[in-house]
Each structure stands twice: as C-alpha cells, then as structure tokens.
C-alpha cells in the first residue's frame, strides 16, 4: 500500500493530509493536522515575512514532517500560497524550511491554487453551476463553474489577515472601517468582467473564515458533529444574520460565539467581508460549504496523473 500526502502552507494556517492508496487506487484519509501559523502576520506594504511568523511556521512544518514519516511508500508534496507567493524574502524562507525540515516547498500561483480548489470541490460535491470562493489569510480565489466545467478563475491578493491589518481595529469595528473595506472589495469585484455570469448562482464556500459561518449555524441547530460541514447548505439570509451578530461584538464577545475558534476571533470580520459582499453582488440565495479544497485537489491531480502514467 502506498501513501500520498499534501502540506498546504497558507497565510493563516498550515495543514497536512495523508491518504492511503489501496490497490484499487481509492484514497482513504489516514491523517489530518492543522496549525494556525499566521505566516502573513505583519508583512505590511513591504511584503516581508517576519521572524516570529517564520519561527511558528517552522515548528509546525517540523511536526508535519515527523508525523508523515510514519507512513510507508509516501509521496509528500508541499505547496505554499499567498503569503509566500507575495513575500520579498521568499527564497530565504524556503531555504530555512529546507534546512530545518528537509522539505522542498513549491510556491504555486493563485491560478493554480484556484484550479486545485476546483478539483477538490468537483470531485466530492454534486456541483453543476456555482461560484467557488476560497477566502484565505492573504488571498481569495474565485472560480466560475458552468456545467461542472471550470470556465474562469482568478486569485485576488486579499484575505482575512491582510484585510484586517489594513482596514480594521482588532476589537470593536467602526462603521467607517467597515464602509471603507466593503467599498474597496466592491471595487475589486467590479473589475472582474466575467463575474456577472455568476449572477444568482449559489456560492461554494471554502477557507477557514467561510467555514466558520457553517460551524456557527450548525451549533445553533445543535448538530451533533457541528464541524462536519462538507456539503452543508445555508440560506444567505442566515449568513447575513450571523455576520450581523459578529459585527456587534468586541473581541472577547466574538471569542465566546459557539462555533467560532478563539484564535480566529480577531480576523473573522475581515475574513467574512469577501463572502458577505459577494452574496449581495451576485444576489445569491444560498451557500454550500466544502471542506475539500487545495489538498484534496492535489490528491485528485496526483491520482489522475498516476492513472494516465
């Protein structure tokens, strides 16, 4: 039996997934780890990865490499996204990772990140026509799906961490801050010509901030496994109600919301602005949530290449 693993080094979190590949090629997940590393923290306008963020990330990656080593015949791929993609000290950072962890990381462009998101969703959800939206720490990927085919995709250099740092107070959010951020995101959306083709389509939401909406709602519904949100559907009116509640609270109040991870409370408003703005922009009436994205997309890309090989 062989194994395939993916490390997804994002701007806010680092994640590892490992699958066992049986003789018939059917993947079975055997390991799933997550660490909140905040790699993009304080990058600022200079786009420089900071020593504290790098140190946290190296600790997480060492843990991942050690955990993955338990699996035989392992193909391990590691991908870095927006924070590393944008960093002026990218080469130095990748060198540190190689020296400390023995890990070679591939920095993928935003368009490839979007393609992997699409593969992760389309292979695990019955999606026909939708806009896939993956809001990360320092980027947001948008993918238009028509008749299950990827028609358009774009990666925007804005996410929960950098939007928060640029526009919002960490504690109470003012009306002026909120207006400035929503206006700027609307301006960005207006520049994407093909987005009008997604009018009235459902949004398939990925990324930690977006998934938080589903977790909060499922806690309200007293769902037994409230974190099991793959394929969960929510009316956009419910999403708006949750966002309204989050907005009224200070940092401590947000930390106390059931379903909202405490370590995400300071960036959740900035993280939800993109999807809440998109709901209005597309006049979309429902969200479908996906727990599968880049890592699962990389798995299916690997399986497809393996079959063809």
- % of residues, the chain, pLDDT over 90: 94
**Would you say residue 18 has pLDDT above 90?**
yes
User: Above 70 in pLDDT, residue 308?
Assistant: no
The stretch 84-94 carries a mean pLDDT of 97
pLDDT of residue 223: 86
pLDDT for position 227: 87
pLDDT (average), residues 211-219: 97
For the chain, domains (ranges, CATH) are 2-108 (3.30.420.40), 111-289 (3.30.420.150)
Average pLDDT, the chain: 96
104-132 pLDDT, tens per residue?
999 999 999 999 999 999 999 999 999 99
Percent of the chain past pLDDT 70, that is, above it, reads: 99
pTM given for the model: 0.95
Question: Strand 286-289's sheet: what is its strand order?
Answer: 149-156, 140-146, 130-135, 203-206, 286-289, 233-235
Which whole number is the average pLDDT over 131-138?
96
* The pLDDT of residue 309 is above 60: no
Sign of CA dihedral 249, 251, 252, 258: positive
What is the predicted pLDDT for the residue at 150?
98
pLDDT (mean) for 52-69: 98
Hey, what are 146's tokens? 């028509």
Per-residue pLDDT at 25: 64
pLDDT of 306 above 90: no
pLDDT band at 172 (very low <50, low <70, confident <90, very high): very high
pLDDT digits (tens, 9 = 90+) for 243-266: 999 999 999 999 999 999 999 999
CA 251 distance to own-chain centroid:
22
Whether 274 shows a pLDDT value over 60: the answer reads yes
Residue 10: which pLDDT band, with cuts at 50, 70 and 90?
Answer: very high
- pLDDT number for residue 148: 98
């Amino acid at each position: 039996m062989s194994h395939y693993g993916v490390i997804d080094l994002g701007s806010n979190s680092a994640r590892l997934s490992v699958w066992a590949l049986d003789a018939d090629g059917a993947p079975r997940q055997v390991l799933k780890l997550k660490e909140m590393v905040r790699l993009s923290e304080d990058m600022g306008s200079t786009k420089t990865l900071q020593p504290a963020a790098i140190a946290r990330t190296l600790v997480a990656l060492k843990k991942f490499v050690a955990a993955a080593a338990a699996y035989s015949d392992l193909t391990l791929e590691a991908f870095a996204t927006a924070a590393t993609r944008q960093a002026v000290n990218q080469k130095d950072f990748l060198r540190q990772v190689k020296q400390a962890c023995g890990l070679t990381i591939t920095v993928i462009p935003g368009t490839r990140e979007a393609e992997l998101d699409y593969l992760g969703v389309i292979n695990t959800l019955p999606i026909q026509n939708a806009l896939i939206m993956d809001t990360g720490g320092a980027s947001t990927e948008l993918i238009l799906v028509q008749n299950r085919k990827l028609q358009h995709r774009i990666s925007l250099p804005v996410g929960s961490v950098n939007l928060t740092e640029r526009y919002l107070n960490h504690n109470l959010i003012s009306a002026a801050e909120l207006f400035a951020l929503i206006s700027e995101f609307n301006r960005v959306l207006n520049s994407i010509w093909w987005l009008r083709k997604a009018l009235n389509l459902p949004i398939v939401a990925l990324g930690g901030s977006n998934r938080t909406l589903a977790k909060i709602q499922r806690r309200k519904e007293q769902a037994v496994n409230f974190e099991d949100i793959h394929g969960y559907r929510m009316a956009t009116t419910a999403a708006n109600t949750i966002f309204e509640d989050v907005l009224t609270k200070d940092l401590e109040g947000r930390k106390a919301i059931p379903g909202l991870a405490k370590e995400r409370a300071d960036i959740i408003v900035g993280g939800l602005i993109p999807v809440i703005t998109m709901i209005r922009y597309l006049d979309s009436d429902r969200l479908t949530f996906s727990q599968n994205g880049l890592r699962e997309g990389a798995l299916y890309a690997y399986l497809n290449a393996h079959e063809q090989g």
